[in-house]
Amino acid sequence: MRGFLSTRTGRRAGALLGALAALAPCATRADPPAAGDAVVHISTFLKFEPREITIPIGGTVEWRNSSIETHTVTDNPAAAKDPAHAQLPAGAEAFDSGPLKPGQSYSHTFTVPGRYSYFCRPHEMHGMLGAIVVTP
């Protein structure tokens, strides 16, 4: 026995690994956001990353679920177990993504300046919280 893999199998494995390495950036990154916009990644570790961001008024935030679980992006005090986890500036309307399965995304455009505190409904009490600061 010359080696663990035959030469033929080794070449196939090498070609497959090379193809996967070349495609990896495509699978993990989407187009960068436009100026004034932001992307928040929803991680498998029950986190919004980054946890807090600042955007200008009129900016859009896109949440991308790269987790293996279903999550939500919710800023609705009526849906929160702890109302402090869902704070809205005066005049702003509550928002809720609904269930985001792995690979799905949700976007929201912010038209009222102030601080928005949001959470994931299934994981709120596990500390899955985030914040958006919208500047005038």
The tens-digit pLDDT sequence of the chain (136 residues) is 444 444 444 444 344 334 333 333 334 445 556 667 999 999 999 999 999 999 999 999 999 999 999 999 999 999 999 999 999 999 999 999 999 999 999 999 999 999 999 999 999 999 999 999 999 9
- Domains of the chain by residue range: 1-29, 31-135
CB atoms within 10 A of CB 46: 17
Q: How buried is 33 (Cβ within 10 angstroms: 0-12 exposed, 13-18 middle, 19+ buried)?
A: middle
Place of tokens 């187009």: 31
* Total-model pTM: 0.75
- CATH code for residues 31-135: 2.60.40.420
